[in-house]
Amino acid sequence: MLFTHTAKTALNGLKTNRSRSALTILGIVIGITAIILVVSVGQGAQDLILGQIQALGSKTIVVLPGREPSGPTDPSIVDSLFSDSLKERELKALQNKSNAPYVKNIMPIIFGTDSGVYEGETFRLTILGVSELASEIFDLTPKEGNFFTAEDVKGRTDVAVIGSKVKDELFGASDAVGERIKIKGRNFRVIGVLPSKGQVSFFNFDETVLVPYTTAQTYVFGIKHFNRLVVEAESEDKIDQTVSDIEITLRNLHGITDPKKDDFFIETQADIAERVSTVTNILTLFLATIAAISLLVGGIGIMNIMLVSVTERTREIGLRKAVGATEKNILMQFLLEAVFLTVTGGIIGVILGALLSFAVAIVLSQFVGLSWTFNFPFLAAFLGFVVSALVGLVFGLYPAREASKKSPIEALRYE
């Protein structure tokens, strides 16, 4: 009862100084807006990246050559680029059902960049050597022509399936299927054109030319090893089993007894997703922390204005005390004023932050073409709310105490 009246009194106090109140909460508004925006956009980015990783299929396991890098500065990153520990022999061993019974598909990948030429047009493209299984594993169905077959892989034929951007750059509007593009001095017959896919996991298929891995090994890169082995397990619950099957098989093959000396390492989609989440979460937290600093600045602004207000209203405080207000009553009144200020700022900030991140989502999905989804960060909104109330409490406490300690006589004498 007294609370509702104190609340009304506090609101009236703010209303009489509308523009000052509005300016005072600006710091809080900016702080909360920034936090909501950062968290929402961070969540969107994470969803986008995770979505791309998931597009590769949750049953997929990737085997990489070399030692697993312990961090971004570990020199073994370079090792893994040049290591030749995965070759035809390892592929054969893993294809053997008695070694890895739950492997459904296994496909080697080699990749590199080179330029492709067609009638004087040159385009820098990613060359991806894969098997016919890529069509299934990466869900690639040409919109024109066909994918290459197991026979093409076996026979090292010079055929290529090209991404949509490669097609646009080299052929423009004219037909590509049946034409030949020159890579490393060798003519490849275009047999298929892929629809636009955007980024999928590590690859942007739009800028890629897919060729049989055998052809790529022999005629394009001149190597005998693979850069990756992509393994598809029969089902998701067989992933752990398959990972350990692969490890045992490859260690046996390479005569490794100490797992620390592995010359290969394995990534599951879950591992990658987890690592990406960690990175984006840290980034989001970092940015949100910076945004939180503006809350601190906003809080100091609130404290400043509340102190001015307390001095201005010395008479009012004195009168209230003379007619029976206790120190607690006065403290509550001014504390509530500060909390009203900051919570109002918090609400405006949450709304503004949501609108801005919605605008970002629209721009990114409509104009940039990313499959971006708008996330309203309920937790961040709730926290923003709580934090703005806390800022009011913390920074309002000192001015409110000053107000409550005023002596009624001094206050009434004040002119």
Partner 1 sequence: MALLDCRNLEKVYVNDGLATPALGGVSFKAESGEFVAIMGPSGSGKSTLLHILGFLDAPTGGEYFFDGKTDQDYSAEDIAHTRNKKMGFVFQAFNLLSRTTVLENVKLPLLYSGRKESEWDELARKAVEDVGLIHRIEHEPSQLSGGEKQRVAIARALVNEPQIIFADEPTGNLDSKSGQVIMEILQKLNEEKGHTILLITHETYTAEHAQRIITMKDGMIESDRKVDHRFKADHFKK
Residues of this chain that interact with partner 1 (CB under 8 A) are: 1-2, 5-6, 9, 12, 16, 315-316, 318-329, 407-409, 412
Residue with Cβ nearer partner 1 (97 or 328): 328
Closest to 133 in 3D by CA, of 112, 153, 110, 157: 153
Nearest residue (CB) to partner 1, 196 versus 407: 407
| Least separation in angstroms between CB 322 and partner 1 | 5
Closest to 347 (Cα-Cα) out of 396, 297, 313, 381: 381
Separation CA 291–CA 285 (nearest Å): 10
Minimum CB separation of residue 359 from partner 1 in Å reads: 39
Residue number, 150 or 322, with CB nearest to partner 1 = 322
Contact 132, 152 (CB under 8 A): yes
From CA 410, how far away is CA 415, in angstroms rounded? 10
CB of 289 to partner 1, least distance (A): 42
- The token pair at 288 is 């949100």
Rounded to 5 degrees, what are φ and ψ at 159?
A: -120, 155
In terms of Cβ atoms closer than 10 Å to its own Cβ (0-12, 13-18, 19+), residue 22 is: middle
Instruction: Identify which of residues 59 and 321 has a Cβ nearer to partner 1 in the complex.
Output: 321
Place of tokens 């490669």: 166
Kindly state the smallest distance separating residue 324's Cβ from partner 1, in Å: 2
Identify which of residues 15 and 97 has a Cβ nearer to partner 1 in the complex. 15
Q: Least distance (Å) from partner 1 to the CB of residue 5?
A: 5
Minimum distance from residue 412 beta carbon to partner 1 (Å):
6
What is each CA distance from 160 to 80, 128, 176, 239, 279, in whole angstroms?
27, 10, 11, 32, 36
**Nearer to partner 1 by C-beta: 158 or 316?**
316
